[in-house]
Each structure stands twice: as C-alpha cells, then as structure tokens.
Chains A and B, each alone.
Chain A
Amino acid sequence: MLEKSLTINESFGYMTLERMGSRYPSRLSFSRSMLRRMKKEKWVVDRVKFDLDKDGYGTAIYEINTLNQIYSVVCFSQFIPDEERSDRVIAENWDTTYAMHIGKISAKDLDRFKKNTPLQEAGRNSPCELVLSRGNKSVRLFKKIVNCLSIGQQPTIEEINDVGYLLRTTAVYGSGKFGLSDFDRTRSTTHFDQPFRAEMLAVYIIREFSIHLVEHIAYHQNPSQAVKLNASIKRHIGIGNSTGLGMAPFIIKHPKLIHKWMSQFDKVLNEIIKIKHIDERKLNKLSSLLKKSKSYLDEVLTTDDYQKTKNKKSFYELDKIIDYCKSIKTSDLKDTRWNDLIKFSEANLSFDAQEIVKVQIIELFPEIADPLAEDMSESDDLFIDPSATVNELINIIENRYQWSIDTDFQNKNNTYLFWYISEEKLEPRLGERYNEQGAELEQHLGIGKMVSELYHFLKENSTETKNLTIAKFLLIHPEYRGIIRRIQTLTNYPFGEVSDNILAKNTLPLNMLRFKLSFFGASRYDPKSDRWLRVSFFAGAPFYEELNSQNVEDWGFATMNSYQ
C-alpha cells in the first residue's frame, strides 16, 4: 500500500517488532553511504605505521586523507590466551583495539593511546577521538588462512564463507562515550555528519587491518613461500560484529532519529512508485538482483533455527516474485508500475522476502536513494506543547497508541520483562520481573505501559481537568512530563515509536537489533540467543586499493560467486 506516503496508521504496521526484525540493508545503510562518500570525495587511505612483530603484535596507524582533514585510526594488536577471548562486554582483554582520531597522530598522542585504548571502557579518550573499538580473532579462520598463505596456497572461498571474517568487533563506541567527541560536535566539524558514519569508516579500516595482519603473520612464518590473499576471494572477508541488547534501548531513546531513517526509506519507495512505467533493463536487473539474494540466502550460515527457517522461507518465496517479473511481457511494461511488484510481494511473500524485494528495487534508483542517504540525521530534542489541552492529548493517544490501550497490563505476561543497566560494566540487560531482582531500577523503556497508565488516568479525570492546558496539567502532575513530551513530539513522527509492548513475555529483542543493524548495513545475521547475535559488515565490499566507481555499489547480498 505505497501509492502515496504512508498515513500515520499505516506507518504503525511498519514498526511492529516482527516487521522490524525482517529488515535488510539497502542503499540507505550507513556502510553503503560511507563508502560512496569515500569514493566520491576521493579519500586516500595511507598505512603510515605498521610496527608489528613476527607474530603480529604491535601498532599500526592508518591515515584517511580527505580534502581538508586527516583522520587516523590507530590499531593495537596483542597476545591474549584463548580462554580470555570473549564476545562479552564484560571482557577485559582483546586481540586488537582501535581508536579513530581527528588529525595525524603525534608521538605524544600515540603514547596516550597506548595507555588508554587497550583498556577500552576503563581508559579515557579526548574530544579529538571519534571512535573506540576492539575486535577478537576468529581463531579458526585466522589460523587457517595464515597456514595456507604461509605455504603459498589460498584458502577456499567456502572456508572463508564458513566464518566470514578474520576479526570480530565486540563494541564500536562513538558519540560521546568514554570521553569521545559528542555527536553534535562530530556532525558540525568533521566529515561525519551522518549517524554512525565515523563508526562505519573505522570498521572499514579495521577490515583492511585484518587482511594486512594475517598476511604479515603468514609472511613471517615462511618468508620464502608466503603469498598474499587473492583478490578473487579476499573481498568475501567482512568484518564480524557481536551485538547485544544495547541496540534496543537506543531505538526507544532516539525516536525522532528512528523516524528519520524509516521515513527516508519510505520516501525512496514513494518516489519510485510515482514512476509511470517499468523500464525493461531495470526489470531485468531486478530479476538478477533477486537471484543474487537467493544465492546469498542459500549460502549464509547460522546455527539458529529461527533464522534458518526465515532464510529458507525467503529463499523459496523469492521464486514467486522472480516468476512474476518474468510474467510481465515487454508489451505490458508501459502499463506496469513498480508498485505492482511491491503490492504483489506484500500479498504473497513473508515480511523478510518483502523487504528483500523493496531493497533490491531501491538498488535500481541511486538518483533517488543516494541523496536521501545523505540526510539521515535528526535532533533528539523532544518538546512539550504546553498550549494543547488534555482532551487533545487523549485524542492523540487514541489515534496513535491504540495498541497500547488495547494491551492488558494487569496480565503479568504483559509486564513480564524489565530493561535495566547492570553494574557490571554498565551492560544493558533484560530481566524477568517476577523471577529476578532489580525491577525497581528498570529503565523508562516500557512506552506502551506508560502511555496506557497515562491514558486511563486522564480518562478518569473530570471534564474540568480535560479542558486544562497541558502546561497547567503538568503543574499538578509533573510525574507525567516525560511520557507527555514523548507523545506530543512524536505526533509528527509516525515511525518513531515501536508499535509493540516490549515488556511482554514473548518479546524477541533480536527484532530491534536487526532493525538497527539493517540501517548500519550488516549482513549474515547469526543469532546466538534471543538477545544477541553476530553479523558481518562490508562482506563483499571492495578493499580500499581496489575501490572504483563500479564496485563501490555492487556488493550488497554478496555471494561466493560475486567475484568471478
């Protein structure tokens, strides 16, 4: 139903947890737009320091030269025993650690980084740093590739596909964390004016480093025979990432930003469906992209049964839309619109497959999508409308939060979960309210419950109260400031609110994680429980030295055949 911009009520359907958990990366994703800008503005990457011993331990620095500013990524590699290697936030040692700095790194800076970066959360950063990160080796693939390269052989692409990366980041911090530059400053004074763009550049450089690291170790293991990775298989190596619950509170705490991301996606589709007829070349291209998506789904590996089922279902369902594309005769193209394909997929495919169809259609229209990908930022400010009346607020709630009003919060299953911050490294976690301690310290993330409580309180009040302005009501009931401010602000941000109760027992937090990761551009979703997963970034993307105007865009849904 995309013949025009979605109405507010239609928008709600797009923000249910199930829909959010079905999303795929697109041209709007931050990894894509970052690489595009890098190519467009001809950023130059130089490895200015590579001081590693034969085992690959030491320091490397990469400089990214833009037209008027240099950024540096400093990389530290150290030995850690296998038993200390962990995806957990509470880990204290990592194979590699990184910081991204504004400017060149002086000897004094390097000394400071050496003392702080390997400590990660326990160290300090200055406002001149944009990103702090760390990553551990996939020991299985790392050892395999070192051994192959050192004897002059190449690993098979199947071996690479089994894991997908040499290093797996377990955190990529930015935006004011641990002393890093606040995003307001980053946005105003650096090239990273879009959300998570600096983080994406850092991750891309870490991927470069992972290749340099493995080749360096292989060379020192056997200098006379060692070879470098073949370009034909190297691109399949992405950079891993292990992600947990922190992404879910982010979505609730930044509703205007989330709206922005979704509304830009919606705008792209709405522009596309205005096109009066389908171009045959584009239709053929779409068929080929859908077939590539099928190959991706066939090849991507996960141990999670839920994800396996979703992938398998999408794999088979994509045949329906491919057949539908085939069925459109050349003579009918002038009477067919892209919306017909979208409507067909909405009527016949699961949410996952629908999303694949949409992102692949978007792939055909860079002139529409790419400018919008450069406008993904939004202020977090929420405002009270003090002159509105309580009655008007009630109307907004009834129009916008029916899902919340309809939820029975007396039923314990609907208040079963609580979101909290653990004192262990301040890790965001999810508890069971009736079985675990700490519910009194829950974060204000149960929006549905708060809205419901406010609504029922307002409805029970007198007509006199309902005629009060919000300003006067809040003088008497300041305890409702937060939820009223949110409801009023989001009146014009229909994608801003998750339209589901995230305190319910059956909540699958992974859905929120996948939503955010799709906008980052993550692929190869590999859930490890209902609340954390592993993914890859930049799998299939060209490395810096081979980046060109053709390959900067063709790496979505990369498969083992993509590089022939």
Chain B
Amino acid sequence: MSFSYYEVYTTSLRAFSSMGFPYGADEDAAYIIAWLELNKFNGLNSLVDSIGVLDNKYDGKIKLNSHNDTSIDLNYASLLMKGPGLIDFYQSELDDKKDLHITLNNCADPEYLLPLLFRSSKKIFYCNALWLDTNSLIQFCEVKNNIMKIGIASNQEPINKEQVRIYISNEHKFQKKFDSVTCTITSKTIQDNLANGISPDENNWKIISKLAARTFVPESEESRIKGAGGSDDAND
C-alpha cells in the first residue's frame, strides 16, 4: 500500500509524541524517520526496532566532555534523541572555525545521521561521516549543496566499532574517496520517490500507527456533540 511522505511524517510524529518526546524533539525524530523511509533506508523498520529504548525513555540531554567537546560518548543512546542537538551544537561551533572533526563513541544507530547531515547542508558547506557497518565495511557519506552520496570507502584511517567520525567544514578542503557509491540523494531523487509514494512494511506501519493512536483522545458523546457539523439541518 502506498503512503505519502506527509502520512509517514505525521504518523511518526504522533508516535514519538506518544513515546514522550517533547515538542520539537518529536518533529526532529519524525523528520529523521520519514526522510529515511522516503529515501528507501527503511526508517520505520529502524524505529520499530528502537521502540524498546525510546518508549517513555526520552533523554535528549548531552553532557559535553570538558576537555574535548568534539568527542562524545553516546553510551548507546539513540541519535533520534541526541542527534538534532548535537548537529546544532557543532554547527554553532563551526562559526569561528574552518572545520571540525567530531567523534561519536558508542553510537548504536549511525544511519540516523543521514537525514540530519542532509538537512544541515542548508547551513554547512560540506560534511561527511563514516562508521563501520555490521559487515565491518566502512560506510561513508558526504553532503554538499544538498546532494548526498553514500557508499563504501575502505581506504580510511582505522575506525572502531560503534564509532562515528564526522567532518564538517566551511570549505571543501578534502574529500575521501569512495570505493563505490551505493546511493545518491538529490532533489530529483526525492521528487521521484514522492511521485512513487512510500510503501512501508505493513507490519511496521501497523505498529507505528498503534503508537500514534495513543495520542488520540477516546471518543465520548460529549466530545462528539461539540464536533463540527452537528446540526439538525444537514438536509437543508
């Protein structure tokens, strides 16, 4: 069954709200999931897998390392909660620097960075990120001018498991070389995906819809009476 981006975003937004994400954090998290789903990265599947660590466990606070604020221990907390604040922070740190190298340790869900980095390209000239995937291949993405490339890049400095290295820059100084680009995201690919609609896994959709339904107020006679359209002249 085909869904629109609006439906995926709205349903995710309600799901996050139902799980205790505050106003604003729910919007960021819904954006991450809807963007991933639209661009065929199975965002809803990732969300379903994360429900156990998110539901009524929201913690978006981030403690900076007093000696080195470009290295953060996420302690396996989801980037759905911590990611938006981190990107904002590093964007502000970039104001008086040419570039920044950032390391996230103990990061459980690096793919959530993709939508955040894509969005940040409206403000940050160039950024890239790399991490090890489950097959120990180095996943690499880079974003410039609203174009994101994602692929494999083996010829890199060693990277630890569950570590993410991010580079953001006000100028395009260097570019790591891809072994292969598996995906390119542009405004055209996004338009194409919107034109085709989104077809999430049916079971995942049911689970997220059920979470979203927790934000709806149960029906009551009193509530119905006050709704729009209730009058005795409907045939008039």
Contact = CB atoms under 8 A, between A and B. Distances in A.
A223 interface: no
B89 interface: yes
B88 A386 contact: yes
A441 B23 contact: no
A533 B121 CA distance: 44
A478 B61 contact: yes
A117 B3 CA distance: 16
Interface stretch (B98-106, B132-140, B212-220): B212-220
A292 interface: no
B217 A242 contact: no
B5 A184 contact: yes
B22 A481 contact: yes
A88 B227 contact: yes
A420 interface: yes
Contacts of A474: 85, 88-89
Contact of A431 (B64, B215, B217, B235): B217
Contacts of B235: 82, 85, 137-140
B6 interface: yes
Given A140-B236, A189-B191, A483 B23 contact: yes
A176 B194 CA distance: 10
A481 B95 contact: no
Interface string B1-45: 111111100000000000000111111100000000000000000
Contacts of B5: 176, 182, 184
A386 B91 contact: yes
A89 B227 contact: yes
A149 interface: no
B227 A179 contact: no
Contacts of B6: 175-177, 182-183
Contacts of A136: 234
Interface in B185-236: 190-191, 194-197, 213, 215-220, 222-224, 226-231, 234-236
A172 B222 CA distance: 26
Q: Which of B1, B3, B22, B64 has the most A CB atoms < 10 Å from its CB?
A: B22
A124 B2 contact: yes
Interface string A318-334: 00000000000000000
Given A475-B85, A478-B22, A180 B228 contact: no
A307 to B, nearest CB: 15
Contact of A528 (B3, B93, B231): B231
Given A184-B5, A426-B216, A86 B226 contact: no
A181 B195 CA distance: 7
Contact of B92 (A91, A124, A387, A476): A387
Interface residues of A, number: 76
Nearest to B216: A423
Interface in A163-178: 163, 170, 175-178
B62 interface: yes
Contacts of B61: 475-478
A429 interface: yes
B194 to A, nearest CB: 4
A479 B217 contact: no
B84 interface: yes
A551 B61 CA distance: 61
Given A127-B197, A189-B195, A421 B227 contact: no
A185 interface: yes
Contact of B217 (A176, A180, A438): A438
Nearest to A478: B60
Interface in A138-157: 138-140
A469 B226 contact: no
Interface in B68-85: 81, 84-85
B234 A441 contact: no
Given A421-B215, A437-B220, A87 B27 contact: no
Contacts of B84: 481
A482 B23 CA distance: 5
A450 B24 CA distance: 12
B233 to A, nearest CB: 8
Contacts of B64: 475
A481 B24 contact: yes
B128 to A, nearest CB: 20
B202 to A, nearest CB: 13
Contacts of A470: 88, 92
A91 B227 CA distance: 12
25 contacts: A89-B228, A170-B229, A181-B194, A182-B6, A185-B191, A185-B195, A188-B191, A242-B228, A244-B229, A384-B88, A422-B216, A423-B218, A437-B218, A471-B91, A472-B89, A474-B85, A474-B88, A475-B61, A476-B61, A478-B61, A479-B25, A480-B24, A481-B28, A483-B24, A531-B228
Given A127-B196, A441-B216, A482-B25, 7 more contacts: A124-B2, A245-B227, A420-B216, A422-B217, A472-B89, A478-B22, A482-B27
Sorted nearest first, the 8 A-B pairs with minimum C-beta distance are: A244-B228, A482-B24, A176-B6, A481-B24, A478-B60, A532-B228, A87-B229, A482-B23
